[in-house]
């Protein structure tokens, strides 16, 4: 947006816009950090907070022998059946949707607390027995998905149940645990908790790769193509009603492509998503580069800004705009939309198109994925809107 004046036909646009940027930048960051901090103060009461995963062994009391698949369909929430024992001393097996459970059978379920409670209510009562401790028949292990051939496929597509008689009960991505539902798309670097026959655990580990290199492996082809497409989209010229043209910028373009690539995960044999750890490292490095560039750009013009007579008007205008936008978003999202504080902190950073606010929110929340979700929800629209307004103002 800083180049909008030049693009609108003003030859002095870059210098004037840069002076305004230098004066207003500091409070533009600090002001949004303040509202971000306000949002995070009530994040403990967030209603969209992911429920922690639990496992529980259930004693079946029903005498109508229901199918496990039918029980799973009646439960609202993420859930996985991981173990089944017939009676008190029978062998522990992997439950299948077509299996029926009878009175006094023991079944272990993994899922959110609410979903597990629903299963307990539907089948019987929670048992003091733990099928997890008996590892004679079925064992469990955390395995790293390091084989790039598996990345971008869903849990169901891997077919570990048919290949090894095993079940993926949980998937850990970064610090977040998820139930291994059939439609969950795996990424390279994910750690899957596999429940399978004790004699085949080494074979299962080899299948997934189970190498620490998968945590930080970067596909240079995917990264390069994604950045190239993002830059092309970002620099594409759009015509405004005033006759001027504008582009959304390479940052917004690459973000849009990244969102699409991350959603797709894989295009045939081409993996389009980066491992969580590698993404975190690149994000931190990119933030440092951005802050260094922004500080250098603003600092180089700060002397010129304060020697001119309009610096205080620019400062006050920037203060008013940032305060109105920050408070308006905070108030409307919290009290009208009832958005959780964690997601709102990311949304505030995205609305300001300010990675520093995103980094602050990630630091305070331990990189909670809801922060990035809130940021990505509004960043492209905010970037396009700001550029569009800057184009109009630059042409006045």
Q: Which H, E and C letters describe the chain, residue by residue?
A: CCCHHHHCCCCCHHHHHHHHHHHHHHHHHHHHHHHHHHHHHCHHHCCCCCCCEEEEEEEECCCCCCEHHHHHHHCCCCEEEEEEECCCCCCEECCCCCCECCCCCEEEEEEEHHHHHHHHHHHEEECCCCCCCCCCCEEEEEEEECCCCCCCCEHHHHCHHHHHCCEEEEEEECCEEEECCCCCECCCCCEEEEEEEHHHHHHHHHHHECCHHHHCCCCHHHHHHHHHHHHHHHCCCEECCCCCEECCCHHHHHHHHHHHHHHHCEECCEECCCCHHHHHHHHHHHHHHHHHHHHHHHHHHHHHHHHCCCHHHHHHHHHHHHHHHHHHHHHHHHHHCCCCHHHHHHHHHHHCCCHHHHHHHHHHHCCCHHHHHHHHHHHHHHHHHHHHHHHHHHCC
Is the model's pTM score more than 0.95?
A: no
**DSSP bridge pairs for 55:** 110
More confidently predicted of 395 and 357: 357
Nearest in space to 119 (alpha carbons), one of 51, 71, 80: 71
- Mean pLDDT (the chain) is 84
The pLDDT of 122-146, averaged and rounded, is 91
Domains, the chain, with CATH or none? 4-48+274-394 (no CATH), 52-133 (3.30.70.1450), 135-217 (3.30.70.1450)
The pLDDT of 103-131, averaged and rounded, is 92
Distance CA 81, CA 56 (A): 10
CB 197 within 8 A of CB 165: yes
C-alpha distances in angstroms, 268 versus 140, 151, 153? 31, 11, 10
**Given a cut of 90, is residue 167 above it in pLDDT?**
yes
Q: What is the pLDDT of residues 341-377, one digit of tens each?
A: 999 999 999 898 888 898 899 889 887 889 988 988 8
Handedness of CA 229, 152, 154, 283 (dihedral sign): negative
Q: Residue 97 has which token pair?
A: 């949707």
**Given a cut of 70, is residue 16 above it in pLDDT?**
no
pLDDT of residue 255: 79
Q: How many residues does the chain have?
A: 396
Nearest in space to 285 (alpha carbons), one of 359, 380, 360, 215: 359
More confidently predicted of 331 and 215: 331
Q: Considering the chain, what percentage of its residues have pLDDT values greater than 90?
A: 40
Burial 199-211 (b: 16+ CB within 10 A, else e): ebbeebbebbbbe
Task: Look at 98-102, 184-188, 260-264 and tell me which has the smallest mean pLDDT.
Answer: 260-264
Q: What is the pLDDT of residues 34-75, one digit of tens each?
A: 999 999 998 888 888 877 889 999 999 999 999 999 999 998
Give the number of other Cβ atoms within 10 Å of residue 31's Cβ: 22
Give the number of other Cβ atoms within 10 Å of residue 107's Cβ: 24
The pLDDT of 9-20, averaged and rounded, is 57
- The pair phi, psi for residue 98, each rounded to 5°, is -90, 0
Distance CA 377, CA 370 (A): 10
**Given a cut of 60, is residue 7 above it in pLDDT?**
no
pLDDT of residue 315: 84
Distance CA 329, CA 80 (A): 39
Q: Residue 300 has which token pair?
A: 């180089």
Distance CA 378, CA 389 (A): 16
C-alpha distances in angstroms, 127 versus 12, 94, 121, 134? 76, 18, 13, 15
């Amino acid at each position: 947006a800083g180049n909008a004046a030049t693009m609108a036909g003003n030859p002095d646009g870059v210098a004037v816009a840069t002076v305004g940027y230098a004066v207003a930048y500091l409070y533009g960051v600090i002001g949004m950090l303040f509202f971000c901090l306000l949002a995070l103060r009530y994040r403990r009461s967030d209603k969209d907070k992911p429920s922690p995963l639990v496992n529980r062994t259930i004693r079946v009391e029903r005498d109508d022998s229901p199918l496990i698949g039918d029980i799973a369909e009646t439960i609202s929430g993420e859930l996985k059946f991981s173990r089944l024992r017939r009676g008190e001393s029978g062998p522990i097996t992997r439950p299948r949707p077509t299996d029926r459970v009878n009175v006094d059978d023991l079944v272990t379920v993994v899922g959110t607390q609410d979903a597990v409670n629903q299963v307990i209510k539907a089948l019987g009562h929670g048992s003091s027995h733990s099928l997890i401790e008996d590892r004679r028949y079925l064992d469990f292990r955390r395995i790293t998905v390091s084989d790039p051939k598996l990345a971008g496929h869903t849990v169901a597509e891997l077919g570990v149940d048919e290949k090894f008689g095993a079940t993926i009960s949980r998937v850990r991505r970064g610090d977040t645990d998820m139930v291994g539902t059939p439609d969950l798309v795996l990424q390279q670097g994910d750690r899957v908790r596999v429940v399978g026959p004790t004699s085949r655990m080494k074979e299962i580990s080899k299948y997934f790769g189970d190498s620490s290199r998968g945590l930080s492996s970067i596909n240079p082809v995917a990264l390069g193509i994604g950045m190239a497409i993002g830059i092309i989209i970002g620099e594409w010229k759009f015509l405004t009603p005033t006759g001027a043209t504008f582009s959304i910028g390479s940052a917004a373009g690459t973000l849009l492509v990244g969102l699409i690539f991350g959603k797709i995960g894989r295009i045939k044999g081409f993996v389009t998503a980066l491992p969580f750890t590698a993404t975190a490292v690149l994000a931190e490095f990119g933030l440092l580069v951005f802050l260094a560039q922004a500080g250098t750009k603003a600092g180089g013009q700060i002397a010129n800004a304060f020697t001119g007579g309009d610096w205080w008007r620019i400062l006050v205008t920037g203060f008013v705009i940032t305060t109105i936008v920050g408070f308006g978003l905070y108030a409307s999202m919290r009290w009208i939309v009832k958005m959780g504080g964690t997601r709102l902190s990311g949304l505030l950073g995205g609305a300001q198109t300010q990675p520093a606010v995103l980094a602050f929110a990630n630091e305070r929340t331990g990189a909670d994925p809801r922060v990035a979700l809130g940021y990505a929800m509004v960043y492209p629209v905010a970037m396009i809107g700001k550029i569009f307004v800057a184009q109009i103002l630059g042409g006045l």
